[in-house]
Amino acid sequence: MTQITTSLGNSRQAVDRALADMAQTHILRRIWDKDHTVWKPASTEITNRLGWLDIAAKMERQLPALKRLAEKALGDGFEDVVLLGMGGSSLAPHVFSRTFPTSGLKLAVLDSTSPEAVLACARSHDLAHTLFIVATKSGSTAETLSFFKFFYNHVLEITGAERAGEHFIAITDPGSKLAALAVRLGFRDTLLNDPDIGGRYSVLSYFGLVPAALMGIDVALLVDRALDMVDACGPDIATIGNPAAQLGAAMGELALNGRDKITFALSPGIASFGDWVEQLIAESLGKDNKGILPVVGEDIGPPEVYGADRFFAYLRLEGDTTYDGRIQTLESAGHPVIRLSLRDTYDLGQQFFLWELATAVAAERLAVNPFDQPNVEAAKVLARKMIGEYTDTGELPASPALPPSPERLHNFLAAARPGDYIAIQVYLPPGLETDSALKTLRLQLRDRYRLATTVGYGPRFLHSTGQLHKGDAGNGLFIQLIVDTGADVPIPDEAGADESAISFGVLIKAQALGDWQALRDAGRRVVRFDLGTDVADGLAALL
């Protein structure tokens, strides 16, 4: 079982009081009883979002079917599987693909609308031997369906209409547009998820376990570890000894005491877990002018580069000492630290459930609904408006963008206040060279301004941290980076048709514009840099 130890400094008494209060008001029992009044008087988007509490036990009964699905895919000659999805549908598979070895199909995740990313995915796979998972809860996610139509048309050219559908699996809610489409086009399989689970809480449902099974991961062991944590956090476990109560109370009370930025130190073998937990925390808690900012991928530095708004979560694999010394130094300097010890990578099954329930507990302390996302739609609506203007006029709306330079960047950040954070929003093709340059940039900014830094690739972050950016107290400084490399890929209007009204290049530009406008409408501080036609040169000009 995952071991949790905490060093909370002068916040210890507040956390102890919170645990006592939660015990007196039976918070954990009420959560397990699916009592919406834990969070809000009205049941809207709460009572129909609690299916994750018992999904691990339900999925245990589906494991033989998942094993047969994986065996048949291998037997039919498939070698690769590509997950087409966004946000909650893609982040758990992203963790699995980067954490576990493959003994089945090799898994890749496409969650970028950058034309270069789409083309790179197509060129790096033999589509005749590639299976695609089309994953969207609503069945209508624009990015996911755009990916699907593009790849369906390419598979169609190879296999013909009678066999193209065999290359696709749908994961969606019952009655969705995708479910009907999968029937019409003869998908290999359609897996209907529990509709009472939101995307960011879906890792232990079909959305996470189907890609894991196709990879050859021991899904039974992963679920068994999750069930161990379910038992440890059950309604009959005393609050003081309940891991989720301890973690959630610490998260909530530290945030209320001004330490509202949880910075993750993760053993290298589980580093990608940060991308999943980032969405869970940011989208669940960043609303109603409140929030906890998850900081992932930011190298752990010395105490002097951190302000008094930080606390640290250290997830350590047994035998790994990468961050032991640095975390001990931070603790000795007075920064609160929460340590979680994992035996091996399969203990991530425990971590998934632990952080889900702890986040729900923290939401009770902050008095927010952890299951809605009231500010996410703003950027989507504006992006659709931009696309509508493009289809009417052939051009996207103009918006101000600056050439990159250190002086312009620092002039913008001169408005920073203690307790702010810097969010670098990257509408660029993902890549290792870009990752490295962004890492250098964010560390320079952290060390100069002593502010938390985050990096998110668009449009993926719109489905995760985008909610926090527009729903928290407004202490973010947003740096949007755009580029025009000239590459583009048309998006078919319909699967199997050649007509195309817009391209992926237009889509990602509209998404960047929509997000920029949504931030401005929310009164956020935002600057836009146009890196020109070369990502590397543009980023170098900022450094």
Nearest to 385 by CA among 521, 524, 526, 525: 521
Cβ-based burial of 244 (10 A; exposed 0-12, middle 13-18, buried ≥19): buried
C-alpha span between 41 and 324 (Å, rounded): 44
CA nearest 430: which of 464, 457, 453, 460?
Answer: 457
CA distance 182 to 302: 53
For residues 529 and 480, the answer to whether their CB atoms sit within 8 Å is: yes
Mean pLDDT check: name the lowest of 92-106, 165-179, 388-402.
388-402
Range 53-223: architecture per CATH = 3-Layer(aba) Sandwich (3.40)
Checking 322-325 for CB contacts under 8 A at 24+ apart, the result is: 322/267, 322/268, 323/265, 323/267
- Picking from 292, 296, 344, the residue whose alpha carbon sits closest to that of residue 316 is 344
Tens-place pLDDT, residues 461-499:
998 899 999 999 999 999 999 999 888 999 999 999 999
Give Cα 352 to chain centroid, integer Å.
13
Same fold, 3-26+235-366 and 376-542: yes
pLDDT in tens, 283-324: 999 999 999 999 999 999 999 999 999 999 999 999 999 999
DSSP at 475 = -
Residue 12 has pLDDT above 80, yes or no: yes
Residue the block writes with tokens 């990313």: 117
| pTM of the complete model beyond 0.85 | yes
2 pLDDT above the threshold of 80:
no
Domain ranges (residues) in the chain: 3-26+235-366, 53-223, 376-542
HEC sequence for 121-189: HHHCCCHHHEEEEEECCCCCCHHHHHHHHHHHHHHHHHHCHHHHHHHEEEEECCCCHHHHHHHHHCCCE
Which pair of tokens denotes residue 112?
A: 């970028």
pLDDT of 208 higher than 80: yes
Which CATH entry fits the domain spanning 3-26+235-366: 3.40.50.10490, 3.50.50.60, 2.40.50.40, 3.40.190.10?
A: 3.40.50.10490
At CA 67, angle to CA 65 and CA 68, rounded to 5? 65
Tell whether domain 376-542 is in CATH 3.40.50.10490.
yes
pLDDT of residue 399: 82
| Total Cβ atoms within 10 A of residue 100 | 19
111: DSSP letter: -
| pLDDT for res 486 | 85
Q: Under a CB-based contact definition with an 8 Å cutoff, are residues 193 and 207 in contact?
A: yes
pLDDT, mean of residues 97-115: 97
Average pLDDT, the chain: 96
Query: Per the structure block, which two tokens stand in for 439?
Result: 């890492």
pLDDT (tens digit per residue) in 214-265: 999 999 999 999 999 999 999 999 998 999 999 999 999 999 999 999 999 9
Cα–Cα distance for residue pair 229/1, rounded to 1 Å: 7
Task: Tell me phi and psi for residue 342, to 5 degrees.
Answer: -115, 140
